[in-house]
Amino acid sequence: MTGMFFVFYCNWAVLLCLSVQAYENLALHQPAWQGRTPGSYTADRAVDGRYRGLCAMSDWNMRQTTVEWRVDLVAVKNIHHVLIQHDVGRGWSLGHYLGLSVYISNTTNKEDGVLCFRDTNYTTATIPNPVNITCPYHGRYVIYYNNRTHPPYPEEYFPYTAIGLCEVEVYGCQSLKHYGENCSLVCPQNCQDSYCDIVEGTCLACKPRFIGPRCMECADGLFGNNCHENCSLSCGNPGVCHKVTGHCNGSCLAGWEGNMCENECLVGLYGMNCLENCSMTCRIPGNCDRITGYCYGGCQRGWTGVKCEEATDESNDEHLAGDFRLS
């Protein structure tokens, strides 16, 4: 069997049904390693699915200040939680296990991975057996570690630590591209490498051009099907637009108009959204720069300014003369 969906944990004397698991036990019968193994108490005893009998144990005769055990899941897997059943009563006690840590790594070096649990609160009265550790990470190696290298320690800590692992179960999904309690849901298509959180299905990272928890939105500056289109640089806020339609959110830079600010102003219009009229006092009436309103070729007689908006004294004199003739 590659895993069990209904998992029973056994104490040494009484069969205890502790939980019903929907995730697969990824560690079952996988390669395991530990340092300083006495006789038959080898690392693989902790992944044999038996829960009783021989356990993975460190050497009784060694006063060890650091211990390490790991299981190789053979490939990077989508992990949800880790269950650790310690051995009690055959040489080791719970005081040896206090302070334990669990790492998830893609190499055999724990420092290359992520620390998903470190005990700082358990006592011999409160440490559960098994210990259930939520550990929603991707990784190949699950590493159990403990040390007594930085005293002083709390009163119930033994001065030396030890490995006493009757079973270590690593629950999750075989495929990195699936999530959910029965690993039947497919990660969103725009997740980077199709990897997602094993519980929520949110992406760990997005493919280029996409953003959002499930990578369903276009990144800033992009819009359209698969976010392949670039927002117009003529938008009032250049490169920012509606992520579905590409519309420029109501404004264009001077000299442009249209939903996507894709059209230059028609002759005779200028400014933002082409809402301004070129001056009729330009030398060529109504003909100006579409961005600034500057009159090409200057102004008609009697007018000045870049937009020919200011009357000169000559223009005023002509008005006065006209008024005199009318009177």
Q: How far apart are the C-alpha atoms of 237 and 257, rounded to whole Å?
A: 13
Is the domain spanning 9-173 CATH 1.10.287.130? The answer is no
Angstrom distances, CA of residue 279 to CA of 126, 286, 315: 86, 5, 16
pLDDT of residue 63: 85
HSE of 117, CA atoms in CB hemisphere, 13 A: 25
For 139-155, write each residue's pLDDT tens digit.
999 999 999 999 899 99
Which of 40, 43, 84, 39 has the alpha carbon at shortest distance from 67?
43
* Tens-digit pLDDT profile for residues 308-323: 999 997 655 444 344 4
pLDDT of 315 reads 53
The β-bridge partners of 167 are 85
Instruction: Please identify which residue in the block is written with the tokens 């997005």.
Output: 206
Q: Which two tokens stand for residue 67?
A: 């211990």
pLDDT for 58-84, tens place per residue?
887 778 999 999 999 999 999 999 999
Residue ranges, the chain, pLDDT below 70: 1-21, 90-91, 314-327
Cα 168 to its chain centre, rounded Å, is 28
Q: Is 320 in a helix, a strand, or coil?
A: helix
Distance CA 155, CA 273 (A): 76
Q: Which pLDDT score, from 0 to 100, does residue 51 have?
A: 83
Other C-beta atoms lying within 10 Å of the C-beta of residue 319: 12
Q: Which two tokens stand for residue 231?
A: 């927002």
Report, in this order, helix, strand and coil percent for the chain, each rounded to 5.
10, 30, 60
Helices (H) and strands (E) in the chain, counts: 2, 23
Tokens representing residue 304 in the block: 């000045």
Give domain limits for the chain.
9-173, 177-214, 265-326
Q: Report pLDDT for 39.
A: 80
Q: Is 306 exposed, middle or buried (0-12, 13-18, 19+ CB in 10 A)?
A: middle
Q: What are phi and psi of 84, to 5 degrees?
A: -125, 115
How many residues are present in the chain?
327
Which ranges in the chain belong to alpha helices (H)? 94-97, 313-326
SS3 of residue 316 by DSSP: helix
- Are 275 and 293 contacting, i.e. CB atoms less than 8 angstroms apart? no
**What pLDDT sits at residue 249?**
84
Residue type, 172: G
CB 58 within 8 A of CB 99: no
